[in-house]
Structure 1
Amino acid sequence: MTTEAKPRRPQQVHTLLVEVGRKPGDGLPKNATGAALLCYASGVEEAEAVRETVAILQQADLSVLEVTGQGTREEREAGGEKIDPEELELMERALAENSVVVAVITPFFD
């Protein structure tokens, strides 16, 4: 009995918007109530990219509250979005390193 290997699905970069709350040692500004993080994460599917992103952020002592997928590069461009060269560079880095890149951290204040 011969079993053929399933073709591997390629890694894609997913754009994720992550909302975090406060936690001791999180590194956010003193008066911040939380933050939004724009991340680029590689994964075969969005669920994998989300799991990896949450795991890495939790290791960094961040309290993840919510993750919203913004789509892959292809999905975003198909929706008419123009992606600037700096963002493309970060996406390529996430793909090449099979990693999560936190591109922007925006703290929330009351």
Structure 2
Amino acid sequence: MIDTDRITGAAKELGGKVQGAVGDLTGSRRDSAEGRLREAGGQAENLYGQAKDAVRHAADEAHDYAEDAYDRGRHYLREGHDRSAEWPHASLVVAGLVGFGLGLLVSKL
């Protein structure tokens, strides 16, 4: 979805170009200057809209990535739980090794 600032900015930029060109053709410095000012304002608004679109796109990408990571983690947790139920002795050994390792780390501090 395109941001409305991009659309209005592009319209203002085009209007400013036309006004500046008309001012140049008629020799009106005021119209020429106002046109250039409107054109610059339109460019700035267009760039602002593009930045908002880029941030929105990045946020959507991050959300999708986080959702995928959550789903993978839930799958691995379920798979680990199922395997630990199949081999309860192995689970006890792993838990004991983790506890022993943590005890060694804490005792060294």
TM interval, short-chain normalised: under 0.3
Which structure is higher in RCO with an 8 Å CA cutoff and minimum separation 6?
1
Q: Which has the higher strand share?
A: 1
Q: TM-score, normalised by structure 2?
A: 0.21
Greater helix percent: which structure?
A: 2
